[in-house]
Amino acid sequence: MNTIKMQDVNETYRGKTGCACGCGGDYATPEDNANSVKRRVNFINKNIDSPSLVVDVYKDETIYELENLEGTRVTRVYVKTEVK
């Protein structure tokens, strides 16, 4: 699988599993918190071939999601999808 490029990232999330409203974690965009985004993208890229990585593809966005081993925390990276 290809790695995620920073210029394609819309936003990222790191926090509790389940609801992704932001109450149990936080969102970061490249514009307002580039360091958090870079750490999260690097984490997903490091595990890009993991069988635990969930990839959901939508019309204009792809979501990469990986939970920790305990299943209590999740990292998500939301990436622009090329519309064809």
* Burial of 14 from C-beta contacts in 10 A (0-12 / 13-18 / 19+): middle
Residue range of the domain that includes 37: 6-80
The count of structural domains within the chain is 1
CATH code: domain of residue 10 = 3.40.1840
* 9: nearest Cα among 64, 58, 62, 79: 79
CA atoms within 13 A on the CB side of 58: 8
Residue 16 forms part of a structural domain: yes
1 in any annotated domain: no
40 band by pLDDT with thresholds 50, 70 and 90: very high
Mean pLDDT for the stretch of residues 13-38: 89
The tens digit of pLDDT for each residue in 44-84 reads 999 999 999 999 999 899 999 999 989 899 999 999 986 55
User: What does the alpha-carbon distance between residue 18 and residue 82 come to, in Å, rounded to a whole number?
Assistant: 27
Return the higher-pLDDT residue of 24 and 20.
24
Six token digits for residue 47? 């595990």
